[in-house]
Homo-oligomer: A and B are copies of this chain.
Amino acid sequence: MQFTAKEINLLLNGTLEGNPDVKVSQLAKIEEAQEGALSFLANPKYEAFLYTTNASVVIVNEDLIIDKPISSTLIKVKDAYSSFSILLERYNSLKLNKKGIEEPSFIHPDATIGKDVYIGAFAYIAAGAQIGDNTKIYPQCYIGDDVKIGNDCSIQAGAKIYHDCIIGNKVTIHASTVIGSDGFGFAPQQDGSYVKVNQIGNVVIEDNVEIGANTCIDRATMGSTIIRKGVKLDNLIQIAHNAEIGKNTVIASQTGISGSAKIGESNIIGGQVGVVGHVSLAKGTQIQAKSGINKSIEEENKKWGGAPAQTYQSYMRSQVIIQRLPEMERKIEELQKLIKRMQENLPK
């Protein structure tokens, strides 16, 4: 896609200085921009780049005082950062605006497909599945029996959703993520073998959730594994059966939430964290990367760290003391010597 400076200025309702016909075809940071790129300057810290950049067009704040010659075409607006965000949105919605049903795809006659959808080639929509309006199902996705997907969702290439799962509106699921695979439940037998516990529940994902790539959310044994409204999950995360992730909680990559754990609202959980099964985390809990949570957290809005996790302050203190351990050992030895000497010198 290519636009002239003039077209962009019209969209942003700004003031243009320089060549209105110069063309841009990509967006770039001001310090990295090449010819043909559109950039912006919002932070005065980067002002020096304005005089050296190769960007063809730069969006700037209208109150910026320019005191050297500039080769780029300028578009002056009230708030350069917001204007650039508008362009980003616009760019992405044009770039990613796929529509229609590509062939070959597999849509079971008993599936229900909404208006203005995109269904990529090699996507599979099983019997009883429902796909909402404006939803995009990218190539090679699997939408199992009786799955319900709401409106305005984006299910990226190769995501797999097992039967009976329910996805809300405005949900994004990235490539190769698996929703609704069997929970990990096996009953030990006398002879050392295990018998599978059938997992007949499902996964419910509420509105405005985004889930990264290669993440796994297992279906409940019975009932539902639930991802509440507004949750954001990164890549390679494990959510086990019957877990519940509270509204607006954010979880970073490679974290694992065990079975039946209830993560509270507005939690912020770092990467590579492990949470054991059947615990509850209070609203506003924050967990440092790599921590291990092995009990419920009842007080709200606290920060935790370590494995097993302590309050953040106590964790930081422990870390400091652990580094002082060699010194502690030396002190104890000195005390032992000192006392020995004192004892020898004591009047008998």
Give A contacts to B, CB under 8 Å: 27-29, 32, 85, 88-89, 91-92, 95-96, 102, 104, 106, 120-122, 124, 138-140, 142, 144-145, 156-158, 160, 162-163, 172, 174-176, 178, 181-182, 184, 186, 192-194, 196, 198, 200, 208, 210, 212-216, 218, 222-223, 230, 232, 234-236, 238, 240, 247-248, 250, 252-254, 256, 258, 265-266, 271-272, 274, 276, 289-290, 292, 307-308, 310, 314, 317-319, 321-326, 328-329, 331-332, 335-336, 338-339, 342-343, 345-347
Contact = CB atoms under 8 A, between A and B. Distances in A.
Which 3 pairs show the lowest CB-CB distances between chains A and B? A142-B157, A178-B213, A160-B175
Contacts of A27: 200, 222
B184 A158 contact: no
Nearest to A95: B163
A29 B22 CA distance: 65
A29 B332 contact: no
A232 B124 contact: no
B346 A343 contact: no
A212 B102 CA distance: 30
A51 to B, nearest CB: 21
Nearest to A144: B157
Nearest to A210: B196
A140 B163 contact: no
A319 B308 contact: yes
Nearest to A339: B338
A62 to B, nearest CB: 23
Given A106-B139, A174-B181, A346-B345, A236 B234 contact: no
B223 A212 contact: no
A310 B335 CA distance: 28
A133 to B, nearest CB: 20
B342 A181 contact: no
A247 to B, nearest CB: 8
B92 A200 contact: yes
